[in-house]
Structure 1
Amino acid sequence: MNEVLLRSLTPSVLGILVRRGADFAAAEDAVQDALVEAVRVWPADPPRDPKGWLVTAAWRKFLDATRANAARRRREDLVGEEPASGPAPAVDDTLQLYFLCAHPSLTPASAVALTLRAVGGLTTRQIAQAYLVPEATMAQRISRAKRTVSGVRFDQPGDVATVLRVLYLVFNEGYSGDVDLAAEAIRLARQLAAAIDHPEVAGLLALMLLHHARRAARTAPDGALVPLAEQDRGLWDTRLIAEGVEILQAALARDRLGEFQAQAAIAALHADARTAAETDWVQIVEWYDELVRLTGSPIARLNRAVAVGEADGARAGLAALAALDDSLPRHAAVAAYLHERGGDLAAAAGLYTEAARQATNLPERDHLVRQAARLNARPGR
C-alpha cells in the first residue's frame, strides 16, 4: 500500500467532488471513507487508475450518505445519478483547498487540523496522535471547522500569507505519534510550491528544508537539546541544505522580499558556517533588520538581540534586549545567555532558572535547568 500516493491524491479527489456539487463537509467525509476502502482493497487488487478509483469510490460514498439522510433528500436533483467511470479529470484543486482550509474564520488550531485532514490526507486518529489529544476532541475540532467552511465558495481567491502561516504552524509542531509533522509540512509545502509561483511560498519551503537539515543534530542520544553552537555539523543533511539554498536564491532573485525569505536567509547563513565561530553574525543582524522591518515582530527583535550580542558583544546585545518587553517568550533565556557572555555568571544563573520555570516543553526546561546548574557549580558559587 502506497500511503504517500493516497495522501497526494486526496486534494484533487476532494476538489472533484466539490465541483460536482457536494458541499465541503460531506465531500471530505466521503473521501476519507474512500481512503479507508482503498487501504482495505488495494493491496490485493491495485487499480490501474488510482485517482479514478478514488473519485468513483468517494462519489459513491457521497451518494450513499446523501440518499440515506432524509433531511438531505432535496439534494437528489443536484447530485443526480452516478457519472460514468473513467479517467479522472486532470484539474488540480490543491491550491483552492489550501485557501479553504486556511479560511480567516477558523482558529489557527482548526485551520491546521483541517489542512492536515483535507489536504494532507491524514486520518483523525493520526492528527490526534500528533497533537497528543483524544481522538474525539480532534474529531469535534475538525467537524466544527468543516461546518464553518462548507458555505464558502470554492473558487474564492484566498490569502497566501494565511496559508503559509498554517503550514509554518504544522512544521513547528515537530512530530509525535506515527506522523512526522515536520516532514508532512515539507511535503505540503512542496505541493503548494508546485501549485503556485510565489516567492514567499519558495521562501517557506527553503526555510523548512534548512531547519530540517539540522534535525539529526538537535538532540543528544538521551533526548537532551543541543544548542546550535554545540551541534555536530557533520550530522547536518547537506543535500537538504543545498536544495534549500538553491530555492532561496531563486526566490530572492525575484526582488519581492518577504518574511519567510528573510528567515530562510538567516538559516542559510547558519548552514553555510563550517563551525559556530565562522558564523557571519554581521550579515545575520542585517537580515534580522529586514525581518523586523517587514513584520515588526517582537520575537524577531528578540532573536536580533542575540545576533547583535554575537556580532558586537554582550553589552550591545543587552542594550537591544532592554528595549523589549520582558514578558516575551524566551526573554529570560536570551537575557541569561547574554549575561553569561558578558561575564555576569550570577545574574545568568538566576535568569536561566527563571527561564526554566517559564519553559513550555520538557526538553527546553531541562536544558535551561542544566545551564543554571552548570553556572552554579562554578568555583565560588
Structure 2
Amino acid sequence: MSARVKLTLSYAGFLMLGGVVLLALVWIYLLRFLPNGGMDRPGMWPNRGLVLRTFVSAAGPMLLFLLVIGLLGGWVLADRMLAPLSRITEATRLAAKGSLSHRINLEGNQDEFRELADAFDTMLTRLEAHVAEQRRFAANASHELRTPLAISQTLLEVARNDPTQDHAELVDRLHVVNARAIDLTEALLVLSRADQGSFSREPVDLSLLAEEATETLLPLAEGRGVTLETAGEFAPALGSPTLLLQLTTNLVHNAIVHNLPAGGTVLVTTGAGQDTVELTVENTGAELSQRFVSTLTEPFRRGTERIRHDQAGVGLGLTIVRTITGVHDGTLTIFPRSAGGLRIVVTLPRG
C-alpha cells in the first residue's frame, strides 16, 4: 500500500477506535446510572431496556458515519500532508537523472518537511558546485597533461625530419618535459588520495613537520637568494603525517618560488591554542589584491599568472593544501601582506 492509503486507514482506524471507546463509555454509564425499574411516563425515568435497545440500534449507523468521515477526511489530510514529500521525491528523481539545478523552495511553516526540503536544496547546491568544480578540474587536468605530450611529440617530429639536429639537446628537452608530466601526475595522485580521506590518524607535531620541510627546501631557498626562517612551539595535531608533511612542503615551496627576485624571506611558524593548532607561512613578494588571492586555491592557478619557470610547479600546490586541510577538519586562510607577499594560516583541531 502507498503511504497515502496507510495514513488514510490509520486516521480512519483511530477515529473508529475513538468512537467505539466513546460508545462503550456511554454504554457503561447507562448500565450503571440508569434505573432498572422506571416506567415510561412523564416525570419518570424511561425504561432502561428501551433506552439500551435504542442506543444499540443507533450505534451502528454512528460507527458507519465515523468510518466514512474517517476515510474521506484521512484521504484529504494525507494528500495535504504528503504534498511536500511528493515535491521532494520529484526533485530527487530529477537529481538522479543529472539535473542538479532544480530546487524545491518549499513554502510554509518551518516544520519537519520544510527542514528536509531546505536540507535537500542545500545538498543540491553543494553537489552542483562540486560537480562543476570537478568538470573544470578534469578539463584543466586534461589540458595540463596534453601540453607536455604535445611538446614531446613536436620535439620527436622535428628530430625525425632533421637528422642533423643535436640529439643530446633533444634528450635534455624531453627529460624536462617528461619530468614535468611526472610531477603533474604525482600531484594528481596526491590530490586524489587526500580527497578520498581514507587514511589513519596519528599524533603529529606541526613544528617538527615545519623543520623537516624547511630543511628539505633549504637548498632551493639558498639557490634563489631567499632567507628561510622557522619559529614556533609544540603544535600537536591528529592526522596523516604524510599528508600534513605534503601540505607543509607545498606551502614552503610556494613561498620560496613566488618571492622577490633577490633578498626575499620566508617565515614558517607554529602555534597552539586551547582547541586548535596553527601553521603559518609568510613570504615577501609582489603586492597582491584580496580578489586575486582568493583564486589561488583553484586548480592550476599560479601566483605569477601562469608564468612558467624551472620551479613554477604544476599549479596544484595550494589546491592540495586546501584539500588536505579540509579532510583534517581544518581551515585555510590566505591574506595578502601590505608590504607584498602572502600570509597563509592553516588551522587544525588540536590532537
Q: Give the structure with the higher percent strand.
A: 2
The TM-score, its normalising length taken from structure 2, stands at 0.24
Q: Give the structure with the higher percent helix.
A: 1
